[in-house]
Structure 1
Amino acid sequence: MVLSRRIVDGEEQDVLISSSFAEAVDRNSSGTSAGMTRYLIPHSSTELMDEIIATWDLHPVLAEDLHHAKQRPKLERYDGVLFFVFKNVFYLDDTEEVEFSEIHVLAKDDSLVIICQGNRFLDGTPIPADRDELDRFFRNTEWVHAEDKDLLALGTDTLIYRLLDATVDGYFPVLDGLQEDKDEIESQVFSGDVAATERIYRLSQEVIDLVHATMSLKRVSEALNARVDDDTIPGELKPYFGDLDDHLTRVVAEATEMRNSLSQILEVNSALIAQRQNEDMKKISGWAAIIFAPTVIGAIYGMNFDNMPELQWTYGYPLAVAAMIVAAVLLYVVFRVKKWM
């Protein structure tokens, strides 16, 4: 299934739903040649990718890339076709997981093809599987922000900017969610919660994945800005791509800082655990010494030596008991003073 929408003079036409990519191209090329067309493939499949490859006669290397998901964000050009990969990100607060949705984009002449590799679209909305629901979803949802008519006159580069801008804007709520969880973890660490270590590790892995995605997307943004400088992209878009790059720089910086903060929290947590274990060992050693002193006295008097005068004394037994108590109390006081107890 392929959805398409023609933009003529800055005005969006009706959404068309086609069963194949070739049909969608034919339906959008039968009218006026002015404007540009956006194609959306909500659910990627081998058959649809083969149709795109055949219809546009794509380069073999690009054809291979189209068949592979789970790629890092990148920007490449093959025989007049611009291909880039980027990842939308969503934060699931209940499970403290960062979920990525991969998007592939092809730009050629006046056409832009958006291929969804996951089950979510740009805003995190799950993509319906049913055809009728999909039709209603995209008729009622602004699935690509394209409200600026003057910018739209510059061609598909405007749509590329809009896509990336919406993607980068989605990173900030994720950073906010991660920051809240990081603050909670800090409280856990200093409260002595034993579950903090596992939580730190899991959150660190999510942040590392986010750092990798943002840094790769930053390279895509830099490549697009280089295309503006080379006049490959209209100069009117330079401020927009520059602003996009600034936002990405901020995202990368915040994600990297959070990764470093979690590493420091993990080190502090390890130090606190070692300190608590040391305190526990002091208490165990102290109680062992307290128990050992009476045990030694009792063991000596329990041997029943023949030549042991204390056994014949009237006060031998009370004296032995008193010695045990005094030794235990004395050791307890000493350990309390040294804060071992």
Structure 2
Amino acid sequence: MTKRPQTQPTDNGNNAIRFTRYLDCGRPVETAGGPDSQEDLRFVQGADNRIVVNVYPRPTTMDIFELGDTWKLHPLLIEDLLQGEQRPKLEIYDDVLFLVVRSTRYIDESEEVDFSEFHLVVTPQSVNILCQDNRWIDGRDGVDKEGQLVNPQEWERELLGKEDDLDLRPEVIVYRFLDAIVDGFLPVLRGIAVDKEQIERQVFSGDQTVAERIYHLSQEIIDMQHATTPLMEVMQGLRREMEKRGMSKQLKAYLDDATDHLTFANNQVLEYRAAMQQILDVNATLVSERQNDAMKKISGWAAILFAPTLVAAIYGMNFDDMPELHWAFGYPMALGIMVIFAVGLWLLFKKNNWM
């Protein structure tokens, strides 16, 4: 997993940066002032068919406190917004929803899964998305070095510009955001699948460096599971809450489709994790077998060398009553015994696949 550049809001004073769209009956409209918190409240005041969509690509502490004051957020919710590196979750504070979700992208060069964390605050008349890692769903920076928004048209397309039969309400925008995140899981899974196949070939080719690669990819899969499995619970909780609020049949169908895709992705992650454990076990078995083969060869050569050493030790004692020492062919006989023993043991070990 690549290191994320930021895990909690910065404190940049008044240099707040945000992407804002005001919607009236689901259509973007221009306003006389803003965009700022005062304009947000003025726009939605007394009009149930109006909503505000805010994206904070570089959220600051001041942004969060201002967000809390504008929409009267619960103190515990504000405390959560100030904390990064949270697992995906859904919390409900009266009529306000708080979601933590993670997007993913695969970096093929380093074989790493890169994560970006998002906090969503959803009120009856607003959707506020805080990019905790200063990046959008696709992993690109939300703000350039000059402090300008990077490709806000893509954000608008993801949240507001899809061609479907859904009225742009807060729950619809949340669905579209989650759907984009779930769609991003599939390319990551394809990248992991390719690496898994390569590792399988390495294991059976006897590559000595494959163990480190197995461990590295296993950790990436575990991190991926930490993004997908809790999101399943988020989707289920979100559906229950939307049903209480009168979710339309059209939105229910789209949400079910996104849930199906997420279920598929989560099942794939679980399968890959189990497969990597099996690969690790197989690799350990193969390594053990290779070590056993090496020990057999070492033991075999030790036995082969021991035989002539034993003969030499016996005849090297020089006792007076050793008639072989006085024979004319005693020396060739000793050498012959050494050779016969060595060759015999070598043939025996070769027959039993020890050599």
TM-score normalised to the size of structure 1? 0.91
Q: 1:105 corresponds to which residue?
A: 120
- Secondary structure at the aligned position of 1:103 is classed as strand
Q: Does 1:6 align with 2:26?
A: no
Per-residue displacement from partner, 1:256-291 (whole Å, max 9, x unpaired)?
011111111111111111111111111111000000
Letter in 2 for 1:110: Q
Alpha-carbon distance, 1:81 to partner: 1.2
Q: 2:292 corresponds to which residue?
A: 278
- Secondary structure at the aligned position of 2:160 is classed as coil
d(CA) in 2 for partners of 1:6, 1:162: 17
Structure 1 contact 3–24 (Cα < 8 Å) conserved = no
- Secondary structure at the aligned position of 1:170 is classed as helix
Residue number among 83, 88, 95 corresponding to 1:80 in the alignment: 95
Between 216-225 and 170-179, the greater mean CA deviation after superposition = 216-225
Letter in 1 for 2:271: E
Q: 2:6 corresponds to which residue?
A: none
Residue number among 183, 195, 206 corresponding to 1:181 in the alignment: 195
Q: Does 1:222 align with 2:266?
A: no
Between 41-50 and 158-167, the greater mean CA deviation after superposition = 41-50
Q: 1:59 corresponds to which residue?
A: 74
Alpha-carbon distance, 1:229 to partner: 3.2
Structure 2 contact 166–250 (Cα < 8 Å) conserved = no
Where does structure 2 lack aligned partners over 5 or more consecutive residues? 1-16
d(CA) in 2 for partners of 1:86, 1:314: 92
Q: How many residues align?
A: 339
Q: 1:40 corresponds to which residue?
A: 55
**Where do residues 97-246 of structure 1 align in structure 2 (5 Å cutoff)?**
97-131=112-146, 133-134=148-149, 137-139=151-153, 142=156, 144-148=158-162, 151=165, 153-246=167-260
Per-residue displacement from partner, 1:102-122 (whole Å, max 9, x unpaired)?
000111122110100013211
d(CA) in 2 for partners of 1:222, 1:44: 28
Cα gap change, 1:266 to 1:14, in 2 (>3 Å): farther
d(CA) in 2 for partners of 1:99, 1:259: 18
Alpha-carbon distance, 1:140 to partner: 6.3
Alpha-carbon distance, 1:68 to partner: 0.7
- Secondary structure at the aligned position of 1:262 is classed as helix
Q: 2:315 corresponds to which residue?
A: 301
Per-residue displacement from partner, 1:177-213 (whole Å, max 9, x unpaired)?
0000000010011011111111111111111111121
Letter in 2 for 1:251: A
Per-residue displacement from partner, 1:57-80 (whole Å, max 9, x unpaired)?
211111111111111111111132
Letter in 1 for 2:260: D
Structure 2 contact 171–242 (Cα < 8 Å) conserved = no
d(CA) in 2 for partners of 1:14, 1:283: 82
Per-residue displacement from partner, 1:165-184 (whole Å, max 9, x unpaired)?
00000000000000000000
Structure 1 contact 21–51 (Cα < 8 Å) conserved = no
Letter in 1 for 2:169: G
- Secondary structure at the aligned position of 2:221 is classed as helix
Q: 2:107 corresponds to which residue?
A: 92
Query: What's the C-alpha RMSD, in Å, of the aligned pairs?
Result: 2.5
Letter in 2 for 1:288: A
Cα gap change, 1:314 to 1:24, in 2 (>3 Å): farther
Cα gap change, 1:48 to 1:307, in 2 (>3 Å): same
Q: 1:328 corresponds to which residue?
A: 342
Cα gap change, 1:203 to 1:81, in 2 (>3 Å): same
